[in-house]
Amino acid sequence: MANVKLDDYNVGSYIGHRMEELGVRDYFVVPGDTNLTLLDNLLENPRLRMVQCCNELNTGYAADGYARASEAKAAAIVVPYIVGGLSILNAISGACSERLKVIVLSGCPPTSVFTGNKATHHTPSPSNKDQALHAFQGVTAASVRVDTVESAADVIDNAISKCIQQSLPVYIELPNDIAGAPCRFPIPLNQKVEEATQTNKEGEALEAMTNLWNSSHRPVLLLGSQVQVLLSRDIIQCLAEKLGCPVLCQPDGRRISESHPQYWGTFWPGLLNHEGEKLVLSSDLWLAVGVSWSDLHTSSIDIGNEAHRLISFDYNSVGMPGGKVITPISVSKLVSAMIDSTSIRPVEFPPGFKPSHPASIQAEIKTSDDALTVRSLLSGIQSLVQDNSTLVADSGDTWFTASHIKLPAGVDLHMQLPYASIGWSVPAALGAQVARPHGRVVLMVGDGAFQMTAQEIGTMIRMKLNPIILLFNNLGYKTETAVHEGPYNYIANWDYTKLATSFLDKPHAQPSNPYAMEKSDLDAIPVFAKKIQTQADLLRAIEMVSTESDKLAFLECCIEPDDMTPELRALGEKVSKGFSK
């Protein structure tokens, strides 16, 4: 950080410096009395932008989306003591399931409250002031509190280092009186991380991997959701071409060009791409990179029966057939060594080999008053996904509609499949759009999920962001209905288009925000909303999305309640039977 004197540093500005080193340019905030000093000091840094969300849970989801989409692959959050921490805990659990680097900074009362056993607000009982610290231990690489000014820099650095080394969230509590206290000038963070990092078994893993690969006859490469935190798209393509084998992706791991000749489509056994599934099940070796084996991913297969042919590249380990685990390793270093190796034998395909992709269920959109269908809507979404788009899908049938969208090269698809927290997508889309402002996020969300986190539409409008939001209004929780019918699956039908345009209104007093840099032009609210009931409505809306590209586009897609993808029906049957074959 240029032109900063040693005595200009306090703990808050120290944290801001660490954010910059990580490449984090935006941080997500809910203010409270315990974190205001920290926020004041972060605001002093002109290279960081504060994004204020509507509640702490949404803040966590937004950071999740930011960590996925940003070049930094990391995010930071500031929340109040305990009430904020416990509210955000669910979102951080989801980030943990995907190994996302999310730094949660929680303000807390002054140190005298802890050293003197004084009662304070925001605690479940006068004696329980560590509830959030304990709660975060199971879903973070570190859950710590800064106790003294002298230890502040080391405690913060050690936690952030663990976040980077383990690619997991961390939780840091910072007393309000320490946040503004002077501290030392920071040494480079990468120096600290390198000193603490031990990844020295790549050679052993490469030898074991090479022996197995060269003795196989029909190997395949499987990519999962966590590959996004392990390898870049370019490295993935180099690896695929080095190995020469078919490549299949889990539905949340589509990180290779879908026009690549080795791409064999989605691997979602029992639900999608049955030809690709047959190929995998007939293979004698699976190389799985960043793959999750949750029941939602495996569906119709028992992964325990596949251990004899499975090599798993996880974050810092390689699992081999027979149960041997080689750790610690760096997957990126191991893959680079594989690409450079002259010992690995590329697969030679028999004559006539070519990938087989499942037929699309998209249907032509008619210029008529025919009712909107999932199939015609899919065709419309396909036209909206451009080369610089980011596709985000909430839990439910939107998983499957996303799986039927062909992704242009470089387009990322984000979904939260293993944790499957309904409502995650709206704030996650906010985070992704903040992280990638030069491309539009295309969000697909059901009406039930939308009702959980709808408030962040207001944040998007306030920030003049321009995502495309497709609300699948099928009158309730249709994923749950597919599993088991019941009155609990039905919700109030909101006037969604009116709601979307109501999130910004003229204030009743001036100035409404004395800190605003410029006045908001309420005569040109940066959002439009359309209710789509017919296919002609859809065509008009698509045209409007293009002509008013600087605005948030909110499209309420009115779908018949029994109109769903065949995959959702199949999933519902499998879930209701406990995923039995």
Binding-site residues for Mg(2+): 447, 474, 476
Angle between helices 11-22 and 36-43 (to 10 degrees): 60
d(CA 447, CA 420): 16
Structure-token match 């409505």, residue found: 537
Write out the binding residues.
Answer: 447, 474, 476
Q: Which of 375, 415, 369, 416 is nearest to 391 (CA)?
A: 415
The region, left, alpha or beta by phi > 0 then psi within -120 to 50, assigned to residue 164 is: alpha
Give the Cα separation of 132 and 138 in Å (integer).
11
Distances (CA, A) of 145 to 18, 32, 543: 17, 17, 52
CA-CA distance, 72 to 87, in Å (whole number)? Answer: 25
Q: For 278, how many CA atoms within 13 A lie in the half-sphere containing its CB?
A: 7
Q: How far, in Å, CA of 552 to CA of 547, rounded?
A: 12
Query: E strands along 385-533, which residues?
Result: 390-393, 412-415, 441-446, 468-473, 527-532
Rounded Cα gap, residues 392 and 443, in angstroms: 5
d(CA 324, CA 311): 10
